[in-house]
A and B are shown apart, each in its own frame.
Chain A
Amino acid sequence: MSVQASDSAVALGRAPGWTAVSRGFADPLGRLGLALVLLLLLTAVFADVISAYEPTKMLPRDRFLGPSYEHLLGTDQLGRDLFSRMLHGGRVALMVAFPAIGISLALGIFFGLASGYAPKWLDNALLLLFDAIRSFPTVMLALALATIIGPSLQTVVVVVILFSAPAYARIIRTQTLALRSAEFVLASVATGASIWRVLGVHVLPNIIGPILILVSMDLPVVITTEAGMSFLGLGVRPPTPSWGSILNDGYSFIRESPWLAIAGGLPIIITTIGFTFLGEALRDAYDPKLRKDG
């Protein structure tokens, strides 16, 4: 219900993309969020440069070491450097996030446009499909899918797409419905503008804002899904480090050393908080009326 309310509020767009973005960074929390996001991106990209060890290199005599100059976060049960594993875990997170969101977006645009322009029965059928997918308790569906397809990075991507795409489709659909009959679009079409021009000049700027907000609010969910599935052993296969699997090790060896849990959980916390703060700031800048907490 609240999604629908925000759907229609978003309908005709408020501040065009860039004004909103720059306003979003006036908010200190937004800046903090941006800083954390950049931290993630940089450390993931330059993980090899920053960390002294390979994430899979095992030093069997140096198990469960605490933090030190050589190992900033200590070592895990196989003597692998936790700091390096943590940084490389960021890479995995991004390797899931980017394709997943990209494809979700594409699917969302396709289905959203289809739903917006379709005859009512098709529109209703699609809406029902979206609602049904949202009705699944996410973990259950993820588990079921992972069981059938088998655990891997690709499985995680599929799960994420399945859950994210309906949300994008909804927003696109709302925008499509609203813009379809908006005067400036009709005028543009009436003066003979090509479909591409209409899309590019009129539709696109109006949906950039909501899409950007949705993406930054969706990313924490994506990262959490990947980490959650890896935590349960249904995501990326070892020895590839994922924050979720590091956290799982942290759980298994909780009495031996707390540092595994810290190395796994801390980046998840920082990343999810960072993206959420960023998303909130963007949303407030874009249209304060969307804000649900006064």
Chain B
Amino acid sequence: MLIYAVNRLALAWAIVVVVIAVLFCMIYVIPGDPVRIALGPLATPEMAASFRAKMGLDQPVWVQFTRFFLGILQGDLGRDILSNRGVATSVLEQLPFTLTLIAGSMLWAIAIGIPLGCYGAIHRGSPVDRIIGVLSVAVIAVPSFVVAVYALLIFAVELGWFPAIGAGRRGEPLNQLHHLVLPSLAVGLGWVGYLARVVRASMLEVMGENHIRTARAFGLPRRTIVYRYALPIAVLPTITLLGIGIGHMLSGAVFAEIVFARPGVGKLVYDAINARNYPLVSGTVLITTGFYVLATLIADLFVAGLDPRVRASLR
């Protein structure tokens, strides 16, 4: 287990390095003045000068990269052009909102997707199963911003059941929850379908295994077999998927935040783009990518830790 963890960590680290390298390349390799590209058109001459000095633009490329890299590790992601605050601070302030949105989306996916998948596996081939199957594919295909706009249109504008804007009033959890429903549905709907399919397939596979046959041969009631013997094994792959899914949910969250005017990392980066606040853009991309790599890493390690067979084979 330890060796696996170390390997996995090394891989994650390697990916982070590559990501930073790619960002670096984007700034310096794309034709144009690197200062312009990194800071954007609103940079004042003083900012440009200090940036030039800090990055050492007259130094060889690899020196620049090292300084860039070390700077990031020290938490210096640059300064916001407009407010002159540290980018890292701004991003980390907004991150909790986005995380809440993602958590809400996962809740939709788990609360509806897993039971649907179970039902489909148990009643395989039934009309309801077929309908669930088709709908699952359909919702996976449709992009989240379309769902967001339509959810807004139907449930907020036409029916008025849910608020259309914002994250809710501070200190009022119920109100905030009310504001969370539609945006998290927009992000999570695709995942409901995806989980339903994966859980169904996984359940069918597990239910066909010999140890389930043994459980049936010993007359264990259906409920016990499905929920305590089969499902715990069947859901293991979904944990990894959800970990990987966080990255995709992040993309969906960006759109949801924009459509529902919710505070969060997505809105931050969108406003930054429109305001030509480039350091904020690149800093946000970096942090969210790092976050995504971390989430995948944790998900993988978690699964490896849970399954005793995996633990044994890795020992």
Question: CB within 8 Å of B: which residues of A?
Answer: 1-2, 29, 128-129, 131-133, 135-141, 143-149, 220, 224, 227-228, 231-234, 247, 250-251, 254-255, 258, 261, 264-265, 268-269, 272-273, 275-277, 280, 291-294
Contacts and interface: CB of A to CB of B under 8 A. Distances in A.
A262 B16 CA distance: 41
Nearest to A234: B273
Contacts of B197: 292-293
12 contacts: A128-B14, A139-B251, A139-B254, A139-B255, A140-B250, A143-B254, A144-B23, A220-B141, A264-B149, A291-B201, A293-B198, A294-B124
Contact of B141 (A145, A231, A264, A273): A273
Which residue of A135, A138, A261, A265 has the most chain B CB atoms within 10 A of its CB atom? A135
Nearest to B201: A293
B240 interface: yes
A64 to B, nearest CB: 14
A224 B190 CA distance: 13
Given A220-B141, A247-B146, A140 B285 contact: yes
B277 to A, nearest CB: 10
A141 B14 CA distance: 18
Contacts of A292: 197-198, 201
A132 B18 contact: yes
Contacts of B205: 294
B198 A268 contact: no
Interface of B: 11, 14-15, 18-19, 22-23, 26-27, 30, 37, 121, 124, 133-134, 137-138, 140-143, 145-146, 149-150, 152-153, 157-158, 197-198, 200-201, 204-205, 237, 240-241, 247-248, 250-251, 254-255, 258-259, 266, 269-270, 273-274, 278, 281-282, 284-285, 288-289, 292-293, 296
Nearest to A138: B251
Contacts of A135: 15, 19, 247, 289, 292-293, 296
A146 B141 contact: no
Given A136-B19, A251-B149, A265-B149, 17 more contacts: A29-B137, A131-B15, A135-B289, A140-B269, A140-B284, A140-B285, A145-B26, A148-B27, A148-B37, A227-B145, A234-B273, A254-B153, A258-B157, A261-B153, A264-B149, A272-B142, A273-B141
Nearest to B38: A148
B273 A247 contact: no
Contact of B133 (A139, A141, A272, A293): A293
B143 A227 contact: yes
Nearest to A276: B141
A254 B153 CA distance: 7
A132 B19 contact: yes
Contacts of B240: 1
Contacts of A141: 285
Given A272-B143, A294-B124, A140 B138 contact: no
A277 B137 CA distance: 8
A137 B248 contact: yes
A233 B145 CA distance: 13
Given A143-B285, A247-B145, A276 B140 contact: yes
Nearest to A291: B201
Contact of B270 (A143, A247, A293): A143
Contacts of A273: 137-138, 141-142
B259 A139 contact: no
A188 to B, nearest CB: 37
